[in-house]
């Protein structure tokens, strides 16, 4: 039995801890904040409950597997609800399309109704391509430890696989080659933002998101997606994992290139045989490991070249429909701007807030997320540049003004927000940096803004012996499904006691 210290109680840290405890290890999680979940949390303000992090669960099989392998099935603990329809997309020319959940044939019908037969056929071709890409990339790029490019080069069907995933083609270039309708183009472009990236430089393989979302569905969890964190925390406790909250790990102790324990900010030193870091990889390699540890140099160099993921500016909006006319929305709603490229230029090149952003609204049809029949809680998210005090945008200022601009836009879209506004709270990238220790408020750690991005992400098994990395800033990437997979990779790499 190994004594394992996990740094951080995010979804990745806790998922790894549960699997490791089930395998017989002695596991303690050290968490800087006063609660578990990291970015994934359902928060209540008065009568309104909000998913202030993830509001969409895709590929639920990852968490079905976690619960099944560590105890009772997820269905005994959480109410997983398919969200139907899955998404409503609205465009600046007044057109819109609603994607049903879990049915590609019905999606084709909806696309035909909105944009015509040719567009529907284009989406069909896109889903077919997307599925082929998923088949080729799933095992080597998602489910396995990606240690280097060499095992990939030895694959039996290398030439066919390279042709399929077009590694040096951007997502945008691929869809331009496929000559798809401009509305559908925007929907696909948005998938790049699921990985915190710019579709003009993100690899074409992100098209797989189209297949994953449509085939495995869009899901909600009753009470909020944040209930996933609550349930995993409870699973950890049931398996004997210990938690220390309000505990900042300030250093990983390394002797002869092997971990020996951790140092806590209050001065304590705790011995450990193995360490699983759920801390952002940039923070881990630059702040928690002493510069003299040579085995960390390669990862530090890689992380320097990796472009950081975009951040988000969100509004938590409580609406009281007794104050003004209700506007009915579906669960997930996207309002695209006229010029989507301007958004990516402002975020990644100019590093300023987006003047005319894509607006995502999560308006959950979940009565357990409000107190009161006339009330609605909307989570509104727009993409944003990282918080950078020097050489970027300082989000600790100017948040009120930007919040007003977004509310005005919502009113202009006909959503009647100002009249019904009962509660408002803005969350900036600086806030996310503070409460979830996400450098710059990046949602996904590093972006996928280059063909090499998968190789620039921190490895799950560090070159420092006994150190393992889990979570959104490590392989295979951010978002709940990939984070859960990183935990499985780490638990398998460590093995049984």
Site for ligand FAD in 254-283 (CB under 6 A): 278-279, 283
In whole angstroms, give the CA distance from residue 487 to residue 377. Answer: 32
Beta carbon nearer to ligand FAD, 180 or 311? 311
Beta carbon nearer to ligand FAD, 31 or 131? 31
Site for ligand FAD in 54-113 (CB under 6 A): 54-56
Give yes or no for residue 439 binding ligand FAD (CB under 6 A): no
User: In sequence order, what E strands does 69-171 have?
Assistant: 80-82, 87-90, 96-99
- Return the number of other C-beta atoms located less than 10 Å from residue 128's C-beta: 12
State the nearest-atom distance from the C-beta of 2 to ligand FAD, in Å.
20
State the nearest-atom distance from the C-beta of 284 to ligand FAD, in Å.
8
Beta carbon nearer to ligand FAD, 33 or 450? 33
Give yes or no for residue 384 binding ligand FAD (CB under 6 A): no
Q: Rg of the chain over CA atoms, in angstroms?
A: 22
Give yes or no for residue 33 binding ligand FAD (CB under 6 A): yes
In whole angstroms, give the CA distance from residue 375 to residue 363. Answer: 11
Give the residue carrying structure tokens 């009772």: 72
Select from 117, 116, 119 the least CA-distant residue to 127.
119
94-to-53, 172, 335 alpha-carbon distances in Å: 29, 23, 10
Site for ligand FAD in 138-197 (CB under 6 A): none
Cβ(388)–Cβ(440) under 8 Å?
A: yes
Residues 6+ away with beta carbon under 8 Å from 254: 260, 289, 290, 293, 464
* Selected binder of ligand FAD within 237, 248, 329, 452 (CB under 6 A): 248
Size of the site for ligand FAD (CB under 6 A): 38
Beta carbon nearer to ligand FAD, 166 or 279? 279
Q: Structure tokens of 185?
A: 């183009």
* Selected binder of ligand FAD within 10, 60, 353, 429 (CB under 6 A): 10
N-terminal to C-terminal alpha carbon distance within the chain:
4
Give yes or no for residue 30 binding ligand FAD (CB under 6 A): yes
Give the residue carrying structure tokens 């085939």: 215
In whole angstroms, give the CA distance from residue 192 to residue 206. Answer: 6
Beta carbon nearer to ligand FAD, 42 or 55? 55
Give yes or no for residue 314 binding ligand FAD (CB under 6 A): yes
Which residue ranges make up the site for ligand FAD (CB under 6 A)?
Answer: 7-13, 30-33, 38-40, 53-56, 248-249, 278-279, 283, 312, 314, 381, 432, 436-438, 443-444, 471-472, 478-480, 483
């Amino acid at each position: 039995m190994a004594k394992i210290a996990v740094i951080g109680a995010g979804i990745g840290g806790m998922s790894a801890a549960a699997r490791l405890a089930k395998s017989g290890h002695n596991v303690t999680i050290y968490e800087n904040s006063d609660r578990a979940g990291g970015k994934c949390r359902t928060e209540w303000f008065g009568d309104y409950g909000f998913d202030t992090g993830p509001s969409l669960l895709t590929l639920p099989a990852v968490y079905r597997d976690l619960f099944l392998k560590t105890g009772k099935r997820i269905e005994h603990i959480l109410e997983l609800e398919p969200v139907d329809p899955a998404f409503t997309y609205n465009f600046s020319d007044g057109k819109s399309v609603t994607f049903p959940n879990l049915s590609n044939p019905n999606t084709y019908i909806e696309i035909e109704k909105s944009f015509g037969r040719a567009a529907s056929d284009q989406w069909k071709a896109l889903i077919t391509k997307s599925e082929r890409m998923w088949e080729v990339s799933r095992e080597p790029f998602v489910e396995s430890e990606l240690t280097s490019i060499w095992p990939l080069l030895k694959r039996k069907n290398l030439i066919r696989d390279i042709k399929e995933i077009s590694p040096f083609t951007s997502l945008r270039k691929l869809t331009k080659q496929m000559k798809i309708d401009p509305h559908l183009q925007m929907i696909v472009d948005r998938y790049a933002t699921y990985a915190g990236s710019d579709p003009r430089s993100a690899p074409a393989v992100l098209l797989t998101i189209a297949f994953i979302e449509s085939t495995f569905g869009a899901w909600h969890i009753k009470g909020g997606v944040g209930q996933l964190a609550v349930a995993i925390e409870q699973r950890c406790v049931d398996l004997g994992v210990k938690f220390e909250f309000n505990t900042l790990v300030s250093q990983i102790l390394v002797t002869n290139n092997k971990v020996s324990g951790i140092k806590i900010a209050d001065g304590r030193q705790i011995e450990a045989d193995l360490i699983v870091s759920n801390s952002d990889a940039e923070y881990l390699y630059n702040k928690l490991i002493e510069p003299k540890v040579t085995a960390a140099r390669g990862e530090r160099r890689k992380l320097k070249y990796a472009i950081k993921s975009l951040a988000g500016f969100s509004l938590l909006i409580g609406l009281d429909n007794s104050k003004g006319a209700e506007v009915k929305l579906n669960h997930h709603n996207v309002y695209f701007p006229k010029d989507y490229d301007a958004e990516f230029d402002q975020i990644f090149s100019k590093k300023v807030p987006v003047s005319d952003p894509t607006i995502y609204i999560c308006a959950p049809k979940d009565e357990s997320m409000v107190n009161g029949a006339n009330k609605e809680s909307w989570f509104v998210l727009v993409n944003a540049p990282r918080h950078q005090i020097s050489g970027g945008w300082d989000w600790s200022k100017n948040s009120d003004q930007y919040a007003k601009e977004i509310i005005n836009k919502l009113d202009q879209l006909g959503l009647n927000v100002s009249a019904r506004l009962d509660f408002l709270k803005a969350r900036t990238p600086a806030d996310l940096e503070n409460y979830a220790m996400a450098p710059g408020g990046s949602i996904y750690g590093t972006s996928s803004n280059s063909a090499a991005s998968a190789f620039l992400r921190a490895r799950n098994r560090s070159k420092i012996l006994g150190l393992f990395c889990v979570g959104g800033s490590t392989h295979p990437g951010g978002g709940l499904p990939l984070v859960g997979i990183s935990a499985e990779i780490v638990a398998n790499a460590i093995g049984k006691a």
